[in-house]
Amino acid sequence: MTRVWKWNRPVTVREVLEDLQQERSIAYTTVMTVLDNLHQKGWVRREAEGRAYRYEAVSTRAAYAAALMNDAWSQSDNPAAALVAFFGMMSEEQRTALRDAVRIAQGPETPEPAQPPDTRVTSTDTGSADTTGTDTGTDTAPHTSGDTSSDTSPDTRTDTRSENPGSAQEPDGR
Phi, psi of 56 (to 5 degrees): -140, 140
Give 113's pLDDT tier (boundaries 50, 70, 90): low
When pLDDT is averaged across residues 120-142 and rounded to a whole number, the result is 46
Residue 169 has pLDDT above 50, yes or no: no
pTM of the entire structure?
0.49
Q: Which of 122, 148, 146, 147 is nearest to 136 (CA)?
A: 122
Residue 7 has pLDDT above 60, yes or no: yes
When pLDDT is averaged across residues 132-148 and rounded to a whole number, the result is 44
When pLDDT is averaged across residues 77-86 and rounded to a whole number, the result is 91
Q: How much is the mean pLDDT over the chain?
A: 76
Give 75's pLDDT tier (boundaries 50, 70, 90): very high
What pLDDT sits at residue 119? Answer: 56
Residue 29 has pLDDT above 90, yes or no: yes
Cα–Cα dist 16/27, whole Å: 11
What pLDDT sits at residue 110? Answer: 62
pLDDT digits 0-9 by tens, 87-101: 999 999 999 999 999
Phi, psi of 129 (to 5 degrees): -120, 145
Q: Which of 146, 139, 142, 137 is nearest to 164 (CA)?
A: 146
